[in-house]
Amino acid sequence: MLYVTDRALAALGAMRAESDATDEESILLYLEEDGSLGLALAELEEGDNVIEQDGQVVVIVAEDLAQALDGMTLDVSVSEDGEEIDFIIIEPDDEDEDDDEFEDDDPENRIILNGNPG
């Protein structure tokens, strides 16, 4: 399962609202042809995984990507001036698996996502 931080859920919810998504559309996390991860507005397809907040689908994880992201965390990185955010996938750190607190400042464990669903 892909974990999503509260900050990422809030940012994705705002992104969905700002992009004038229909009731059937949510933010899709998918694999680009070049192997990078992308974000886009899309409708749920059979086999896709979803992450919900307050009964609303916020993130759709494409079926072909869900297994590869198992155990990873989707978060956001905010610029110092607060003007830019990047969605990042943080890979689990084997040494910290038993920690209850999630904190990972190692940039080698981060994957920046491409795309703007608007």
pTM more than 0.75: no
CATH of 3-112, one of 1.10.3470, 2.60.40, 3.40.50, 2.60.300: 2.60.300
As a whole number of angstroms, the distance between CA 30 and CA 51 comes to: 14
pLDDT confidence of residue 103? 46
Taking only the tens place, the pLDDT of each residue in 7-19 is: 999 888 888 888 8
Residue ranges of domains in the chain = 3-112
Q: Read off φ and ψ for residue 42, nearest 5 degrees.
A: -160, 165
Q: Is 117 helix (H, G, I), strand (E, B) or coil?
A: coil
HSE-CB at 111 with a 13 A cutoff on CA atoms is 17
